[in-house]
Chains A and B, each alone.
Chain A
Amino acid sequence: MNRTAYINARLFDPANGLDETGSLLVEDGKIADRGAALFEGGVPQDLETVDCNGKLLTPGLIDMRVFTGEPGTEYRETLGSASQSAAAGGVTTIIVMPNTDPVIDDVALVDFVERRARDTAIVNVHPMGALTRGCAGEQMTEIGLLKDAGAVAFTDGDRPLSNPLVMRRALSYATFFDALIVQHAEDLDLAAGGVMNEGELASRLGLAGSPSAAETIMIERDLRLVELTGARYHVAQVSCKASVDVIRRAKQNGLAVTCGVSAPHLTLNENDVASYRSFMKLSPPLRHEDDRLAVVEGVADGTIDVIVSGHDPQDPETKRLPFAQAAFGAVGLETLLPATLSLVHGGTLSLERAIEALTHGPASLLGLNSGRLDKGAPADMTLIDMHVPWILDPEDLKSKSKNTPYDERRLQGRTIRTIVRGKEVHPFKGT
């Protein structure tokens, strides 16, 4: 029997309201026991022991919005390289988006992702299935079969499902399988090809702006359809105050609506675009500082359920272009935790809400049995040094792509160890 004792840890698990110094026992990849009193009389000789030195031991982080290039554009990122990046960032479970090439809209392709993940990934990988065939927004996919094959939710990835009739039917049909529908909320007509947030700065830079209303209008439309259908609906990433307000009201009215926000949207704003920095070109775009403050408040008060990285690796050739032509997206698996912790250090977000939105929040939405330090749960855990200061060097990133908006930033706090099913995957020691 493979047994490891994690002693002298600050056990921190928002789902259980747990914050105490104690020990945790892992047996055969599962959490066997935990508590302040565990090993009070000393650790038995036959146990492998890890002294956590009072550092934070949390459930492993779960990132439910990760784009990879596998299959199709493996030069950007493979499932294997994404998993290495995840492990380095303390993320033990990644949910990969279906808009690859080909799109994950068929049972055989879900099987492919799962097989490749099993063979090459060092963290847990679950695919989201495409909501429509080819993510083209026209024909529903086989939601039931895909879900049985392992798809944990359904989305067209970074493309909105624009047609309201198709959306209504997808929501309606999904209720039979209790499937979660995830929307990239953007009215493409209103966004009109905008490449950054609409406003004074875009006007100064001479860049086409995308108004935040393009996001909020899509959410408001979808909420009407959720009312009609009673489906479980999740907005992948909200970025502005109006969207947070709309979702807050919908939740108060009892709708089954949830939403996420990316770490960059919590920590950066449109001014970071500065002089056409294409690494700051994201979708949705970085918004006004008032919007940033509103999404932070949304996480703090529980309106926003999950924090994601929005990890989207892009090779240099698609980023070293004039801003309007450059690709959207930023890598983020390795900065998800430190970026979120910057809000905790800044006093605008409690540690409890931060960790909940990175663990139990996504786990409960996706029906995963991880995200908590329960006895019997998989031993997916992250050991965190809350306070260590460091400067991000993009060359140190494990991701194949280095398009991080945090290059050369001063960060505080990072992952010391990442444990997946009882096995330490970071510091990475080979397979």
Chain B
Amino acid sequence: MASSETNTSTLFPHRHLIGIDGLSQADITALLDLADGYVDQNRQIDKKNSVLRGRTQINLFFEASTRTQSSFELAGKRLGADVMNMSVSSSSIKKGETLIDTATTLNAMHPDLIVVRHGDSGAVELLSQKVSCSVLNAGDGSHEHPTQALLDALTIRRRKGRLEGLTVAICGDILHSRVARSNILLLNIMGARVRVIAPKTLLPIGVERLGVEVFNDMTEGLKDVDIVMMLRLQLERMHGSFVPSVREYFRYFGLDYEKLKVAKPDALIMHPGPMNRGVEIDSAVADDINRSVIREQVEMGVAVRMAALDALARNLPNQPMAGQEP
């Protein structure tokens, strides 16, 4: 790669976006600033630019996803990239092709950016070691989902003007949530105060050492918070293994107006989606146009993903690599 005219942009000095872990405050601010511009662009009639013209982006999804995959697809297309979606069903895994086989196969097609979602923690990092392009993590197991944390941060920053000094409560299935991990990391880096609220069976062991205050009671944990982030509770986890029933969960941990009373009057309500209405969040709260920013999060998602793709592409080589056929 020595011969390539490497863009020395220091906007975002990373080859991949695997997680929030490892990013600095400056890195995050740079991405959010860039994303702000894309929010405006996305509200124009002409939503496209050409910063990724000629680039190939592959969305490689080992887990089914509608929102994240379409968000990344739209982001790439609005930047002018050729976007290919690959949903690797469990059938091809049954045929014996491993993650690394898939990675090396795709790598041979010279993509510039690969967006990966995988059900196993660490799988995206493993894949990134086997390819020569930039890799974006669209969620790996219970580990990280960095663009979700970034879009949440952008949503908050645009509404509140800042992240520093805010108190954010993350509620629900922290144990299995990559969204929670990425958000805890990002909010700590940006100087927010983070609380987690969940029954003990849905909290990871040692969570108190991740830079959060731990609550088991919603009415204590939500007191005076600026932001309430609800997490999705997978239905299969609600029948006795982690919590005994949906109705008991909603009674103690579902977000409704009663529990919300103790939060700040202008507290924002967020949810990464898809929601289980009546399980972790009351339908009326979710749709409250004064408090809920859930739809706005989706809008910010496209802008943040455009920013991430743009920032990583600036570090890609701009000429054929030495020793390679053009």
Cα-based distance from A295 to B162 in the complex (angstroms) = 49
Within 8 Å by CB of B141, from A203, A275, A324, lies A324
Contact of A325 with B204 in the complex, beta carbons under 8 Å: no
Interface residues of B in 112-127 (CB under 8 A from A): 118, 120-123, 125-126
Bits for A187-204, please: 1 = Cβ < 8 Å to B, else 0: 000000000001111111
Bits for B146-171, please: 1 = Cβ < 8 Å to A, else 0: 00000000000000000000000000
Contact of B121 with A317 in the complex, beta carbons under 8 Å: no
Which chain B residues lie closer than 8 Å to A323 at the CB level?
120-122
A198-B205, A325-B120 known; A275+B125 contact, CB < 8 A: yes
Task: Label chain A's interface by main secondary structure.
Answer: loop
Chain B interface size, as a band, is 20 to 34
Contact of B206 with A206 in the complex, beta carbons under 8 Å: no
Contact of A202 with B178 in the complex, beta carbons under 8 Å: no
Contact of A203 with B122 in the complex, beta carbons under 8 Å: no
Contact of A275 with B181 in the complex, beta carbons under 8 Å: no
Answer yes or no: B143 CB below 8 A from chain A CBs: yes
Answer yes or no: B100 CB below 8 A from chain A CBs: yes
Q: Which residue of A lies closest to B208 (CB)?
A: A200
- Chain A nearest CB from B121 CB (Å) reads 4
Answer yes or no: B144 CB below 8 A from chain A CBs: yes
Within 8 Å by CB of A204, from B140, B141, B181, lies B181
Cα-based distance from A206 to B18 in the complex (angstroms) = 14
Contact of B121 with A322 in the complex, beta carbons under 8 Å: yes
Bits for B191-216, please: 1 = Cβ < 8 Å to A, else 0: 00000000000001111011000000
Chain A interface size, as a band, is 20 to 34
Answer yes or no: B90 CB below 8 A from chain A CBs: no
Interface residues of B in 194-253 (CB under 8 A from A): 204-207, 209-210
Contact of B120 with A209 in the complex, beta carbons under 8 Å: no
- Chain B nearest CB from A209 CB (Å) reads 6
Which chain B residues lie closer than 8 Å to A200 at the CB level?
205-206, 209-210
Answer yes or no: A251 CB below 8 A from chain B CBs: no
Which chain B residues lie closer than 8 Å to A205 at the CB level?
121-122, 143
Answer yes or no: A38 CB below 8 A from chain B CBs: no
Contact of B98 with A317 in the complex, beta carbons under 8 Å: yes
Q: Which residue of A lies closest to B118 (CB)?
A: A322
Contact of A324 with B120 in the complex, beta carbons under 8 Å: yes
Cα-based distance from A352 to B151 in the complex (angstroms) = 60
Contact of A276 with B125 in the complex, beta carbons under 8 Å: yes
Answer yes or no: B69 CB below 8 A from chain A CBs: no
Cα-based distance from A292 to B121 in the complex (angstroms) = 26
Contact of B141 with A206 in the complex, beta carbons under 8 Å: yes
Bits for A99-123, please: 1 = Cβ < 8 Å to B, else 0: 0000000000000000000000000
Q: Which residue of B lies closest to A323 (CB)?
A: B122
Contact of A199 with B98 in the complex, beta carbons under 8 Å: no
- Chain A nearest CB from B323 CB (Å) reads 26
Which chain A residues lie closer than 8 Å to B205 at the CB level?
198-200, 202-203, 209, 211
Answer yes or no: A320 CB below 8 A from chain B CBs: yes
Q: Which of A203, A276, A321 has the most CB of B within 10 A?
A: A203
Q: Which residue of B lies closest to A201 (CB)?
A: B206
Which chain B residues lie closer than 8 Å to A15 at the CB level?
none
Task: Give me 12 A-to-B residue pairs in the complex whose CB atoms sit less than 8 angstroms apart, sorted by A's number.
Answer: A199-B205, A200-B205, A202-B204, A202-B205, A204-B21, A206-B121, A206-B122, A206-B143, A207-B121, A207-B143, A322-B99, A323-B122
Partner-B contacts on A (CB < 8 A) = 198-207, 209, 211, 275-276, 317, 320-325
